[in-house]
A and B are shown apart, each in its own frame.
Chain A
């Protein structure tokens, strides 16, 4: 038992060694006075506390022990770096086998997923998210560092492999940007989060048009600002090595910069898109047809030229948009 060792000590000594212990006790609204022993904290709360928790002191102590144990196991377990992920073929909607050879990707890679609506792009992202092992409707398998995903990676919060970003996502919480990011940072008790929150805001502001600050309410941010904050937060606070992006073309943010930010943090980025510019930012392009990966395209030299032209046009578009928003006439092109 971890807690027996601390029962007669001031709780501060427990907190010094296990910082996450404090979060847990605060979460269940324990009243903690400086100098209290852990025994006081667990067993000497007001009666109303035990009533509101619907637990006896002993149950609370047992649960606290469980929590410390799980956290310790998790933190002691080395976070295995993802060096490669490999996607192995399955089958399409009519069960015809996919023809591609297993594809291996590395940190920093961007992979575009393209194809008509309803062709199965999102399904591919789902396979990656759950670490498919032949158990999804597509029969595809995914390997991390050449191994199938362990069960822990699938069901333990802090071991998940993929973070998601989509047009449908919203902030539903009523908090300021500062409180929101601090809350998220607490999910990673050992991570050095100093200065990181400020950096996230700065990056988010560099992606979106109109600036916002730490005291802005996350639920009241505009679509572009929300997306920008989600991307910056994903890059700097989420530990998942893979980021899955579902159609963010109309998000009103600087998309190239957003992708650079994610890959700069060594994420592997998969993005579904209908936008040629975004698709060409990826070195690899998977073309989906009738539920199957029909073609794997590596960006060609000539495509790189197309990308440069598209970017020039896109920059022109941005320029015009800025002028338009500022109330200018758009007479010169």
Chain B
């Protein structure tokens, strides 16, 4: 079975792109399933179920969604292999831009939205930097010049990525993406494999559920903002 990970900022069009791909896979007789990792609530599993493909929804709740993803991907992978899928698509939303779900040797797709502005690629971090393939959505509604600048900015962050433009509404461009993904191995390995980029670990009391505010509640590895002395406003 081939695992493909999709990630990207919220509302960038991951679900639309994946739905279009599922249709194309089904048309050619590929057995495809999806797992969606999300934080609090999601109706996307219903969107996928409507396409009549096996779907799993994982909600991380109080946990960091990326940590939740990586501690469950092995089980999910085994689930997919157990029901004899050819391809398992994993979708997870990058929330704080610090982590990336990309696993070594497993095709990693980052979906970003052209409407989010030409400077966004510089702000996304490892999700974009360590992806094999970058999908740019909503590029049909901005000027050609902005498209070219956006692509250039993607290339600054990830010089080696293949870049595809996909219209999430019509699916235009998804045929090329599928072709590119066909080039990756059909025998993904998850167990004993490694993340491409380490995820930051629980660092402080707030990671453990602390809700009180104030220095005396803060434990562990803390980062404090640097405030220049002349701007503190207080008396000395």
Q: Which residues of A contact B (CB under 8 A)?
A: 23-24, 27-28, 48, 54-55, 63, 66-67, 69-71, 126, 130, 135-136, 154-157, 163-166, 168-173, 180-181, 183-184, 186-187, 226, 230, 233-234, 237-238
- Tell me, yes or no, whether B146 is within 8 Å of chain A by CB: yes
B105 to chain A, nearest CB (A): 19
- The answer to whether B140 touches A234, judged by C-beta atoms less than 8 angstroms apart, is no
- Given the interface pairs A28-B122, A130-B173, A157-B151, the reply to whether A171 lies near B144 with Cβ below 8 Å is no
Q: Inside 8 A of A63's CB, which chain B residues have their CB?
A: 129, 159
- The answer to whether A168 touches B140, judged by C-beta atoms less than 8 angstroms apart, is yes
- The answer to whether B122 touches A183, judged by C-beta atoms less than 8 angstroms apart, is no
Q: Inside 8 A of B98's CB, which chain A residues have their CB?
A: 54
Among the 9-residue stretches B76-84, B175-183, B186-194, the one with 4 or more Cβ atoms under 8 Å from chain A is B175-183
| A185 vs B122: C-alpha distance when bound (angstroms) | 19
Q: Inside 8 A of A135's CB, which chain B residues have their CB?
A: 175-176, 179
- Given the interface pairs A54-B125, A172-B117, the reply to whether A234 lies near B144 with Cβ below 8 Å is yes
Closest to B177 in A: A155
Partner of B144, one of A67, A70, A168, A233: A233
- Tell me, yes or no, whether B195 is within 8 Å of chain A by CB: no
Q: Inside 8 A of B26's CB, which chain A residues have their CB?
A: none
- Given the interface pairs A154-B176, A172-B115, the reply to whether A163 lies near B144 with Cβ below 8 Å is yes
| A159 vs B115: C-alpha distance when bound (angstroms) | 23
Closest to A162 in B: B144
- Given the interface pairs A63-B159, A157-B152, A184-B148, the reply to whether A172 lies near B164 with Cβ below 8 Å is no
- The answer to whether A184 touches B142, judged by C-beta atoms less than 8 angstroms apart, is no
| A243 vs B126: C-alpha distance when bound (angstroms) | 34
**Interface residues in B2-40 (C-beta closer than 8 Å to A):** none
A182 to chain B, nearest CB (A): 11
| A69 vs B117: C-alpha distance when bound (angstroms) | 27
- The answer to whether A157 touches B163, judged by C-beta atoms less than 8 angstroms apart, is yes
Q: Inside 8 A of B140's CB, which chain A residues have their CB?
A: 164, 166, 168-169
B206 to chain A, nearest CB (A): 19
- The answer to whether A67 touches B159, judged by C-beta atoms less than 8 angstroms apart, is yes
A164 to chain B, nearest CB (A): 6
**Interface residues in B127-175 (C-beta closer than 8 Å to A):** 129, 140-146, 148-149, 151-156, 159-160, 162-164, 172-173, 175
- The answer to whether B142 touches A70, judged by C-beta atoms less than 8 angstroms apart, is no
Q: Inside 8 A of A166's CB, which chain B residues have their CB?
A: 140
- Given the interface pairs A28-B122, A184-B149, the reply to whether A169 lies near B156 with Cβ below 8 Å is no
Partner of A27, one of B142, B153, B173, B175: B153
- The answer to whether B180 touches A155, judged by C-beta atoms less than 8 angstroms apart, is yes
| A172 vs B144: C-alpha distance when bound (angstroms) | 11
Q: Inside 8 A of A238's CB, which chain B residues have their CB?
A: 144-145, 148
- The answer to whether B145 touches A230, judged by C-beta atoms less than 8 angstroms apart, is yes
Q: Which of A164, A172, A226 has the most CB of B within 10 A?
A: A172
| A237 vs B147: C-alpha distance when bound (angstroms) | 13
- Tell me, yes or no, whether B57 is within 8 Å of chain A by CB: no
A73 to chain B, nearest CB (A): 10
- Given the interface pairs A54-B98, A155-B163, the reply to whether A171 lies near B129 with Cβ below 8 Å is no
- Tell me, yes or no, whether B118 is within 8 Å of chain A by CB: yes
Q: Inside 8 A of A126's CB, which chain B residues have their CB?
A: 172
Shortest Cβ-Cβ A-B pairs, 9 listed:
A70-B159, A157-B151, A155-B162, A67-B159, A184-B145, A66-B159, A163-B144, A187-B152, A135-B175
25 example contacts (A-B, Cβ-Cβ < 8 A) are as follows A27-B122, A27-B156, A28-B122, A48-B226, A54-B126, A66-B159, A67-B155, A67-B156, A126-B172, A154-B176, A155-B163, A155-B180, A157-B148, A157-B155, A166-B140, A169-B140, A170-B142, A172-B146, A183-B149, A184-B149, A186-B152, A187-B149, A187-B152, A230-B143, A238-B144
- The answer to whether B144 touches A165, judged by C-beta atoms less than 8 angstroms apart, is yes
Q: Inside 8 A of B142's CB, which chain A residues have their CB?
A: 169-172
Q: Inside 8 A of B179's CB, which chain A residues have their CB?
A: 135
Interface string of B24-66 (1 = CB under 8 A from A): 0000000000000000000000000000000000000000000
B200 to chain A, nearest CB (A): 9
B22 to chain A, nearest CB (A): 16
B108 to chain A, nearest CB (A): 15
Closest to B172 in A: A126
Q: Inside 8 A of B149's CB, which chain A residues have their CB?
A: 183-184, 187
| A61 vs B2: C-alpha distance when bound (angstroms) | 32
Known contacts A230-B145, A238-B144; 15 additional CB pairs below 8 A are A54-B97, A130-B172, A130-B173, A135-B175, A155-B180, A156-B163, A157-B152, A166-B140, A171-B142, A171-B143, A172-B115, A183-B118, A187-B149, A233-B144, A234-B144
Closest to B183 in A: A151
Q: Inside 8 A of A183's CB, which chain B residues have their CB?
A: 118, 149
A312 to chain B, nearest CB (A): 33
A171 to chain B, nearest CB (A): 5
Closest to B99 in A: A54
- The answer to whether B117 touches A173, judged by C-beta atoms less than 8 angstroms apart, is yes
Closest to A125 in B: B172
Q: Inside 8 A of A24's CB, which chain B residues have their CB?
A: 156
B123 to chain A, nearest CB (A): 10
Closest to B140 in A: A168
Q: Inside 8 A of A67's CB, which chain B residues have their CB?
A: 155-156, 159
